[in-house]
């Protein structure tokens, strides 16, 4: 079968691109350990009151170690009554905080300014990640996923003292 020269170039380009995507997936799984959420990290967004998200808030688990349970909803981050609305979380300098975050309605984002923590919040999934807060300052938690009319006012604040 005769293949036009240009068509052949396109086929080669597509083959290389697909190969690169497959290689990137293999590297993500084997080198970086990126996985789909395990069943234990899935919850029913209609029944958050039966999970750890029934009582959002910050808990000290050891010296300089904290757990923060946060529920994202249109258009706020609920970190419990003590944190207020918009939520303000305070940690001493040098803290390591593990965040457990989920969404109760639509997809939201959870990005902490000037830190390498950026989660996508999918209803029904628990997003978990840790961050170290070594520099005093005020850092915003930003919803970076367009989530509706109040998206631009959806934020929280972390104060490192």
* First-to-final CA distance of the chain: 71
Q: Minimum CB separation from ligand CUA for residue 62, in Å?
A: 31
Q: Minimum CB separation from ligand CUA for residue 64, in Å?
A: 30
Residue 34 near residue 65, CB atoms below 8 Å: no
Distance CA 139, CA 135 (A): 10
Distance CA 158, CA 71 (A): 15
Q: Minimum CB separation from ligand CUA for residue 36, in Å?
A: 23
All residues at 6 or more sequence positions from 10 whose CB lies less than 8 Å from its CB, including other chains = none
Residue 42 or 151 with smaller CB distance to ligand CUA: 151
Which residues contact ligand CUA (rule: CB under 6 A)? 75, 108, 143, 145-147, 151, 154
Residue 56 or 145 with smaller CB distance to ligand CUA: 145
Q: Minimum CB separation from ligand CUA for residue 152, in Å?
A: 8
Dihedral in degrees, nearest 10, Cα atoms 141, 147, 148, 152: 20
Residue 21 or 146 with smaller CB distance to ligand CUA: 146
């Amino acid at each position: 079968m005769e293949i036009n020269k240009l068509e052949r170039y396109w086929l080669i380009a597509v083959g290389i691109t697909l190969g690169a995507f497959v290689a990137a997936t293999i590297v993500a799984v084997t080198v970086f350990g990126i996985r789909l959420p395990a069943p234990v990290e899935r919850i029913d967004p209609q029944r958050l009151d039966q999970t750890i998200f029934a009582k959002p808030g910050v808990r000290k688990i050891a010296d300089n170690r904290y757990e923060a349970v946060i529920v994202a909803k249109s258009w706020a981050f609920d970190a419990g009554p003590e944190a207020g609305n918009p939520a303000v979380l305070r940690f001493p300098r040098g803290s390591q905080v593990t965040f457990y975050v989920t969404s109760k309605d639509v997809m939201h984002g959870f990005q902490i300014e000037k830190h390498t923590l950026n989660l996508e919040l999918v209803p029904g999934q628990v997003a978990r990640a840790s961050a170290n807060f070594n520099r005093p300052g005020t850092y915003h938690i930003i919803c970076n996923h367009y989530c509706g009319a109040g998206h631009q006012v959806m934020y929280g604040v972390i104060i490192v003292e």
